[in-house]
Structure 1
Amino acid sequence: MRRCRLHVMGASGSGTTTLARALADHWSVPHADADDYFWVPTDPPYVERRPESDRLALMREVFVPREAWVLSGSMVDWGDAVVDECDAIVFLTLDPQERLRRLEAREVHRRAGRGFDSTAWEGFLDWARGYDDPAFDGRSRLAHEKWLAERHHPVLRLDGAASREELRDRVLDWIPDH
C-alpha cells in the first residue's frame, strides 16, 4: 500500500473533500480539510477567519509531522509552507453547472434542523459561481492554475464527474515515488 502526503484541491463542489476522505480511509491516515483550519468554529459556521499564523501552527500540531495524510481544500495565498511538505497534488475540475447542482444538494442537508441565512447562502453561491470567471477576484480556476504552475510537486488532474471509487483508484494507480 503506497501512502503519502497528498493535497487534493479544486473548486467548491468539485469533490475534493469526498476524494480526500476516500483516500485517507483507504490508507488509514488522517484527513484534514483546509476550511477546518481557515475558519474558527462558530455557529453559524464560516464567519470568523482564524489568523494565518494560528492556522499553520494548528496544522503543524495536528497532522503535518505525520508520515502520511490527505489534505483537501484550497491553500492558495496562505498555506504554501504546509503544501511544500506534500508529495503530490491532485487537482479536480468539474463542469460549473454540475458543481453548482452539487452545492445546492449539499446545502439542503446542511439546512435541515438549523436556522437558514438566505443572504449568506446567496453570497456563497455568488462566490462559487465566480470560480470559472477569469476576472473573478476570489478563489478562481485562474488563481489555482497560476498557483499550481509555481509548485514543484507532481500534479494529477482529474474530472470530478467520475465516481468516488474511480477517482480514488486513479490516484492510487498514479501516486509517484517519493
Structure 2
Amino acid sequence: MKIQLIGASGTGKSTLGLHIAEKEQIKWIDTDRYIWKDETFSENYPIDQRLKMYENDREKFDQFIVSGSVFAWNPTGFDDRDLLVFLTIDDKQRFQRLIKREVERGGQSSLWLDEHGNQTNDFLDWCKTYYTAKTPSDIGTLAEHNYQITHSKSPILKLDSSQSLDVLYQLIMQRVKR
C-alpha cells in the first residue's frame, strides 16, 4: 500500500498520515523532513541531499503513507502510489488550525497583526498564496496540486478534512481496497 496525501498547509496531512501509519502499521513519511533541517523550518537541505533521503526511504519501505509532496524538486517522486488523496478544508478553519499551530511552535509573540487586524507571520502570509500561485513548481500550492492530480497515474480521492480522523481513515481504506 502506497498512499500520498496532498493539500494546503493546515488541511491535516501530517495528522492524518500519522494516524493511518499507526492503524496500518506502515511507514509514515512527512515530506517536510526532506526539505527542512530542523523544527525551526529556517534552513533547508540541498536538493541532492533531499533526493538521497527520498531514495533511502524508497529502498527501505514497500508500504507507506506520505504527507506532502516532493513534486517541486522531484517530479517523478511517488508516481507509483496506489492512491493520491487531495485534502481540502474551509479556509477559515484552515487558518484557525495554522494560527493555533504557529502559537504552539513559537508562542504568541511569533505573530503580529496585519492591516486588517488578523494574526499573521511570514509563514501564514505564504499560506495565503495557496490559491493565487500559478506555477506548478510553486511548492505547496493549488497550482502544484492540480498539476499532480491532472497527471496522476493512480486513482484520486478528494476529501474534506474537517471530518474526523477515523472517518477519513475509513474512506481512504475503502478506496485503497477497491
What does the per-residue CA deviation read over 1:17-41, in whole Å, with 9 as the maximum and x for residues that have no partner? 1111111111101111010111122
Deviations along 1:128-164, whole A, 9 cap, x unmatched?
Answer: 1111235586632133112221121111110111111
Equivalent in the alignment of 1:159:
160
Counterparts of residues 27-66 of structure 1 (less than 5 Å)? 27-41=24-38, 45-66=40-61
Q: Would the aligned equivalents of 2:72 and 2:139 in 1 still touch at CA under 8 Å?
A: no
Residues in 2 aligned to 1:63 and 1:57: alpha-carbon distance in whole angstroms: 10
Mean CA deviation greater in 7-16 or 137-146: 137-146
1:173 partner amino acid: Q
Q: In structure 2, which of residues 88, 91, 104 is the aligned counterpart of residue 109 of structure 1?
A: 104
Name the TM-score, length of structure 1 as normaliser.
0.84
Q: 1:26 to 1:175 in 2, by over 3 A?
A: same
- Normalised by the length of structure 2, the TM-score is 0.84
CA contact 2:103–2:110 (8 Å) conserved in 1? no
TM-aligned CA deviation for residue 111 of structure 1: 2.5
SS in 1 for 2:65: strand
Secondary structure of 2:29's counterpart equals strand
Check whether the contact 1:100–1:129 (CA below 8 A) recurs between aligned residues: no
Change (3 A) 1:109 1:175: same
Distance 1:162 1:142, change over 3 A: same
Partner residue of 1:99 out of 94, 104, 108: 94
Over 3 Å counting, the alpha-carbon distance change for 1:130 and 1:174 in structure 2 is same
Taking the aligned partners of 2:79 and 2:144, their CA distance within structure 1 comes to: 18
**Structure 1 CA distance, aligned partners of 2:52 and 2:76?**
11
Does 2:5 match 1:8? yes
In structure 1, distance between residues paired with 2:133 and 2:54:
31
- For residue 116 of structure 2, what is the aligned residue in structure 1? none
How big is the shift at 1:59?
A: 1.9
Supply the AA of the counterpart residue of 1:109: E
Structure 2: tracts of 5 or more residues without a match: 113-119
The separation in 2 between residues aligned to 1:40 and 1:138, in whole angstroms, is 17
RMSD between superposed Cα atoms in Å? 2.3
Which structure 1 segments of 5+ residues have no match?
Answer: none
Aligned length: 169
SS at the partner of 2:37?
A: coil
